Amino acid sequence: MSQDADICGWARQSEIEHRYHDQEWGLLRTDDRTLFEFMVLESAQAGLSWRTVLNKRQGYRHHYRNFEPELVAQFGEKEIEAMLADARVIRNRAKIEASINNAKQFLAISTEFGGFAKYLWSFMESKVIVNRPKTLADIPAETDLSKQIAKDLKKRGIRFFGSTIVYAYLQATGFVNDHLETCPAYQRCIDLCPGVWPSA
C-alpha cells in the first residue's frame, strides 16, 4: 500500500480503503444503480466503520442483486432472513428493512425527477461542490445542504439516512469534492468530470 503523505489520511489506514479512495471515492456517479448502491452501503455503515462495509461489499452485491433497486423493492421476509443468516452482510434487521423501503422510495424519486442524480442536482444548481480542505479537520461531518436533503428525503419516506450520512453519500458519489487539496485525486476527480464543475 502506498504511503504517499499527500493522499487523504483516512485512505492510508488499510489496503481496501486505499484502493477505494483511489478508484472510487469522489468520482461523480450519476447512474441510478450506483447511487442506490451507495444509499444502501452508507445507510448500513451507520454506527460502524466504513472499512467494515467495504469488507462486506461483495456480500451486499450478492444479496442485493447487484443493487438493482427494482429488484430490491420486491424483497420480502425470505430475502431478509437470508441476509440475517449471512455474516457477509451487516445483520441488522432494521437496516435491512429500511433498505427495502428505501428502494421503493428511491424509485419513486427517480421517476419523479427523471433520475436520482437530477433530484440531487435540484439542491445544487447542477454543479459539484468543490471544497479545498487542507487537513481532515477542515472537512465537516454535515452541512446546511446535507441537512436540507436529509430533511426532504425523510419527508419522502427514506429511512436511516440522516444529515451526516447524506454528506458522506455526497462525498462518496462525487457531488462534493472533499479530497485534500494536496491529494492527487483532488484534481483527478475534476479532470474526469468536465462540464459539471463551477468555473474557477
Residue 129: DSSP 8-state: E
Residue matched to cell numbers 484502493: 19
Please count the CA atoms within 13 angstroms of the CA of 137 that sit on its side-chain side. Answer: 0
- Report the interhelical angle of 144-155 vs 163-172 (nearest 10°): 110
CA 143 to chain centroid, in Å, comes to 16
How far is 102 from 155, CA to CA, in rounded Å? 12
The 3-state DSSP class for residue 162 equals coil
Active-site entry in 17, 25, 37, 50: 50
Q: Is 20 a catalytic residue?
A: yes
42 is catalytic: yes
Catalytic residue status for 167: no
List the catalytic residue out of 17, 25, 37, 42. Answer: 42
Q: Nearest-CA neighbor of 151 among 140, 141, 138, 165?
A: 165
Question: Rounded distance, CA 48 to CA 14, Å?
Answer: 16
Q: Which residues are catalytic?
A: 20, 42, 50
